[in-house]
Amino acid sequence: MDTKKRILDEALTLFSEKGYANVFVGDIADRVGIKAPSLYKHYKNKRAIFDAIIDEMNQRFAEQAKSMNINGTDAQKDSEIYKNMSEEKLLALGRQFFLYYLHDDYNKRFRKMLTIEQFNSKDLADIYSKLYVDDPLAYQSMLLGMVAQAGMLHTDNVNIMTLHFYAPIYFLLTMCDRDPEREPEALKTLDEHIKQFNRLYGRTK
């Protein structure tokens, strides 16, 4: 990886552990294996590093949204996938979603950084809300809505049903970010949550 990229990578690691203000340019340089002044050949100043991390995330996200093309145009076809989704599949979906977001190094670090910085500007608050509130709810709402349309889940309020699915996952995710030792407990709770969710919304009928 070239130096310019490595700077972003090491900066993200440090920002996610200590927060922007507690990380010094020299700390980042140390981890990259250069001296602080050299870093200024790659980025104008410290803030530019932070901004570049945010920009990179926006790019990654745009690409991901592109590839994740279960987007309504062929909802009819996609619904077939979820029509006969077993409880096992729903469990796997939840666990997969949870473990991916929890362990994926980039996601984890970015989420922790945003958690620390979310109150510093409206822009950062908006990014947090988009990534961890509105987008997951919209995406899962679409999926669960299709399952409901296929008659495998029963509700007159898909959005609340989705909240009931996602909020516990979010809750356990933030708990593990704070205290990784509680992951086994979280995984157990996650399984019980999804099974209970399944029963409550009447998949077996």
Which residues contact DNA by CB under 7 A?
3, 23-26, 29, 33-38, 40-42, 44-47
The interface partner of residue 46, options being DNA, a copy of itself, none and the CB cut-off 5 to 8 Å by kind, is: DNA
Contact between 138 and 71 (Cβ < 8 Å): no
Fill in the per-residue mask, 85 to 124: x = in contact with a copy of itself (CB under 8 A), - = not in contact.
---------------------------x--xx-xxx----
Task: Report how far apart, in Å, the C-alpha atoms of 47 and of each of 21, 38, 57, 205 are.
Answer: 10, 16, 16, 56
The helix, strand and coil proportions of the chain, stated in percent and rounded to the nearest 5, come to: 80, 0, 20
The interface partner of residue 84, options being a copy of itself, DNA, none and the CB cut-off 5 to 8 Å by kind, is: none
Contact between 147 and 161 (Cβ < 8 Å): no
Identify the DSSP state of 181: G
- Give the closest residue to 131 by CA, choosing from 165, 167, 107, 102: 107
Residue 48 interacts with a copy of itself (CB under 8 A): yes or no: no
The interface partner of residue 103, options being DNA, a copy of itself, none and the CB cut-off 5 to 8 Å by kind, is: none
Scanning 18-26, 56-64, 77-85, 93-101 for contacts with a copy of itself by CB under 8 A, the matching segment is 18-26
Length of the chain equals 205
Measured from the CB atom, the residue of 9 and 87 that comes closer to DNA is 9
Residue list 137-196, contact with a copy of itself (CB under 8 A) = 155, 157, 159-161, 163-164, 166-168, 170-171, 174-175, 177-179, 182, 189, 192-193, 196
Residues in CB range of 38: below 8 A, 6 or more apart: 29
